[in-house]
Amino acid sequence: MRSPISRRWLMIASSLCALSLVVAACGGSDSSSSSSGSSSSSSSSAKADKVAVLLPDTKSSVRWETADRPLLQQAFKAAGVPVEIQNAQGDKSTQQQQAEQAITNGAKVLLLVNLDSGSGAAIEANAKSQGVKVIDYDRLTLGGSADYYVSFDNVAVGKLQGQGLVDCLQKGGGPAKPKIAELNGSPTDNNATLFAQGYNSVLNPLYKAGKATKVADQSVPDWDNQKALTIFEQMLQKESNKIDGVLAANDGLGNAAISAIKARKLKQIPVTGQDATAEGIQNILAGDQCMTVYKAIKQEADAASKLAIALSKKQSPAAGLVNGKSDDTKRQVPSVLLKPQAITKDNVNVVFDDGFLKKSDVCTGKYAQLCTAAGV
């Protein structure tokens, strides 16, 4: 039998125990609430799946690193969407490994600029097998399985180049029957095929009517500017320097042709381009290049990021964003197709007004005076 003192201590101990249970319960509730809040916050930030951007190289164009990467990075950051951006530097195996690693790292959306359709289709097949969405960015993957395609109307790009060359040849009383060399893009890039389709729709009728002569027509592997230089030097050699105009598929190839022309101390002839690079604009200001095609990369990056963000959040694309379809040889791919613009010395300010290039990128050294003369 317990003494009164023992009973009193037992009652106090029981009371303290009960009190501790209440405190513990309250503490547990706070912890749960905090955990729940954290989970809710985490859930909110996790609403957007990870996106991986797979860029091709820096050889075909400087745009991938100087324009596309920062624009896409900024767009995904502003939307709170986790993103990783990789550049394969022209290596197909590297790009496939980057794609596989990105999926392993949790990417549920791939934004792919393929190096060629074969490797691109393999990347897309693997992604599809794992439930990962793919957007073909700038270059359509033939025979692929992309969910969407975002680019410019590339046939229209070629038409602008073809008409631009014709206009430049006719300006200032050019030759009645000009001899034209075509320096095409990479044979493994579907865009190059579309560009050629566009400019040949303008030039072929002239060839057929005997109003112009195609004296050379060659593709440049991997858009390699050094190879383009060698190819165009061989064209000049074969034609005894008698080439009146060059349809160059982009500014890099155009600059290769210009370099070969200067090396032989030949007079300036009309040369086309594409991408409105700082170098291309400088060549236009100097009269070495007659035109380029400006593709507002910010518009392209904005459209692609909006599409990828929607997919990452499992939402439908904004109404009107997808405005066409593109044939990848086995199906019609829902597409966002943007409008390109021809740039000559007369409207060169467009690229500066859009913020695409800075005057400090172009108007340096000997080009400063040329910028002033052109009203830049």
pLDDT per position as a tens digit, 128-184: 999 999 999 999 999 999 999 999 999 999 999 999 999 999 986 789 999 999 999
Predicted confidence (pLDDT) at residue 2 exceeds the cutoff of 90? no
- Mark whether 303 and 258 lie in a shared domain: no
Altogether, the residues listed in the chain come to a count of 376
pLDDT confidence tier of residue 10, bands split at 50, 70 and 90: very low
Task: Check whether residue 79 and residue 169 sit in a common domain.
Answer: no
Beta strand ranges found along the chain (DSSP E): 50-55, 83-87, 107-112, 133-137, 148-152, 179-184, 213-219, 245-248, 292-294, 324-327, 332-338, 341-343
Is 80 exceeded by the pLDDT of residue 300? Answer: yes
Cα 368 from Cα 376, distance rounded (Å): 9
Q: Sorting pLDDT into bands at 50, 70 and 90, what band is 63?
A: confident
Q: Please, what is the Cα angle at 245 between 347 and 195, to 5 degrees?
A: 70
Query: What integer pLDDT is reported at residue 142 of this predicted model?
Result: 96
DSSP class of 144? -
User: Quick one: pLDDT at residue 32?
Assistant: 31
Note whether residue 259 is domain-resident: yes
Q: Which of the residue ranges 1-5, 119-123, 125-129, 240-244 would you say has the lowest mean pLDDT?
A: 1-5
The CATH number of the domain holding residue 117 is: 3.40.50.2300
Q: Can you give the pLDDT at residue 279?
A: 96
pLDDT bracket for residue 61 (50, 70, 90):
confident
pLDDT at 13 over 90: no
- The mean pLDDT value for 40-66 works out to 78
- Rg (alpha carbons) of the chain, rounded to whole number: 30
Domains in the chain, number: 2
Prediction pTM value = 0.77
- Of 28-32, 130-134, 174-178, 247-251, the one with minimum mean pLDDT is 28-32
Sign of the CA dihedral with 273 first, then 276, 279, and 281 last: positive
184-225 per-position pLDDT tens digit: 999 999 999 999 999 999 999 999 999 999 999 999 999 999
- The percentage of residues in the chain with a pLDDT greater than 90, rounded to a whole number, is 83
Higher-pLDDT residue of 310 and 27 is: 310
Residue 125 belongs to a domain? yes
* Tokens 């990870």 sit on residue: 50
Look at 5-19, 33-47, 302-316, 326-340 and tell me which has the smallest mean pLDDT: 33-47
Question: Is residue 247 situated within a structural domain?
Answer: yes
Q: How far apart are CA 356 and CA 178, in angstroms?
A: 34
Please check whether residues 285 and 223 belong to one and the same domain: yes
The answer as to whether 32 is a domain residue is no
Q: What is the mean pLDDT of residues 333-361?
A: 95
Between 26-35, 251-260, 317-326, the lowest mean confidence (pLDDT) is in: 26-35
Q: How high is the pLDDT of residue 275?
A: 92
Calpha distance 355→3 (Å, rounded): 92
Query: For position 12, what pLDDT does the model report?
Result: 43
230 plus 90 within the same structural domain: no
Regarding whether 281 and 171 lie in a shared domain, the answer is yes
Q: If you average pLDDT over every residue of the chain, what do you get?
A: 89
> Are 165 and 265 contained in the same domain?
yes
Report residue 5's pLDDT band, with 50, 70 and 90 as the boundaries: very low
**Average confidence (pLDDT) over 336-353:** 96
Is residue 45 very low, low, confident or very high in pLDDT (cuts 50, 70, 90)? very low
Range of the domain at 222: 154-295+342-373
Reading the block at residue 331, the tokens are 């199906």
CA distance to 3, 254, 265, 354, per residue, from 279 (Å): 101, 10, 20, 17
174 lies in some domain: yes
| pLDDT value of residue 60 | 81
Are 366 and 248 part of one and the same domain?
Answer: yes
In a domain, 19, yes or no: no
pLDDT, position 21:
37
Compute φ and ψ for 151, nearest 5 degrees.
-165, -170
Q: Are residues 92 and 239 in the same domain?
A: no
349 and 213 in one domain? Answer: yes
What are the DSSP calls for 218-257, one per residue?
Answer: EE-GGG-HHHHHHHHHHHHHHTTT---EEEESSHHHHHHH
In a shared domain, residues 178 and 111: no
Query: Is 22 a member of any domain?
Result: no
Mapped to the 3 state alphabet, what secondary structure does 253-277 carry? HHHHHHHHHHHCCCCCCCECCCCCC
Whether residues 146 and 171 share a domain: the answer is no
List residues bridging with 335 in a β-sheet. 149, 324
User: Quick check: is 301 in a domain?
Assistant: yes
The reply to whether 172 and 281 lie within a common domain is yes
Answer with the residue of higher pLDDT: 40 or 231.
Answer: 231
